[in-house]
Homo-oligomer: A and B are copies of this chain.
Amino acid sequence: MDTVAVLGTGLIGTSFALALKSAGFRGRIIGVSSPASVRAAVERGAVDEPAELAVAVRQADLVYLAQPIQKILDLIPEVARHARPDALVTDAGSTKRRIVECAGRRLGESQFLGGHPMAGKESRGAAAADADLFRDRPYFLTPARPEMIDEPRIAGFMDWLVRTGAKPAVLSAGEHDRLVAATSHLPQMISTALASLLARQPDAAILAESGGPGLADMTRLALSSHDIWADILATNGDEISRLLEMAEIRLREIRTSLDDAKPAFDEAYSFAERVPRRTV
């Protein structure tokens, strides 16, 4: 792997480039993004040179798509036109079925590997990028067929991921989308629902301002912008709907047995105690 093209030099793309270099990658990293974004990635030392998409993709052994989901879907046809037959194209989009399906129609099967690093930050952009962003975090990979992960270019890419400190985990695109619906999308929508419900109370300002750490925790995700979520809701709506409906049922069950809530608290504890927490 001599040349890597990073498409989208925001937080994830720039962090991937920094992580590769920090893991010992000595080849060239070409950045494709808006002028301001790619300039920031060059200034961070993550990207060696900016280029147009076609120019960058034609030279690349690895094409890393690090834009929002819809942008990835929009670019796949153009990437497919220019990608070398022996190149690997991978992405970091946060839902996988739609992207894997779209790439499967345009790229050769062993040319594409869906990916999703479970890493992020509240700050965005190249300025917030971090060579250690992926360290000790799961990095989901969703090959069209499980056997594909033994193919040399995919195995080689996974080796680089391991060297960045990421923990690659292979699953199908469907399994991935079901998993993140539960661990990420459902919590987001519940936080949004809670905060929007409280926003409608007549004394909303007083409620917000008298909230303690519990309310702060439960409404932090509600600070997320819809910009980021629109693509996720559009491409994983079926799984999210299924879980939201289960949540409605679970709330009703709990509401109608408030005087016997110990089993719910115990069950909830058994889950919550396994969730990794930063010690404060």
One complex includes copies of this chain to the number of 2
Binds B, one of A4-12, A47-55, A60-68, A210-218: A210-218
Tell me the bound Cα distance from A246 to B200 in angstroms: 11
1/0 contact string of A68-88 vs chain B (CB within 8 Å): 000000000000000000000
Tell me the bound Cα distance from A247 to B199 in angstroms: 12
Q: Distance (Å) between the CB of A246 and the closest chain B CB?
A: 6
- Residues of chain A from 210 to 248 with CB closer than 8 A to chain B in the complex: 210-226, 229-230, 233-234, 237, 240-241, 243-248
> A211 near B183 (CB under 8 angstroms)?
yes
Known: A184-B212, A210-B138, A216-B276. A195 touches B258 (CB 8 A): no
Most buried by B among A118, A217, A241: A217
Binds B, one of A38-46, A95-103, A262-270: A262-270
> B214 near A221 (CB under 8 angstroms)?
yes
The answer to whether the Cβ of A259 comes within 8 Å of any Cβ in the partner chain is yes
> B193 near A264 (CB under 8 angstroms)?
yes
- Residues of chain A from 189 to 213 with CB closer than 8 A to chain B in the complex: 189-201, 203-213
Summarize A's interface: helix, strand, loop or mixed: helix
Tell me the bound Cα distance from A107 to B223 in angstroms: 47
Query: A-side interface residues toward B, CB under 8 Å?
Result: 118-120, 137-138, 169, 179, 182-184, 186-201, 203-226, 229-230, 233-234, 237, 240-241, 243-248, 250-252, 254-255, 258-259, 261-262, 264-278
Contacts of A216 in B (CB 8 A): 275-278
Tell me the bound Cα distance from A278 to B214 in angstroms: 12
Tell me the bound Cα distance from A120 to B212 in angstroms: 9
Nearest opposing residue in chain B for A243, CB measure: B197
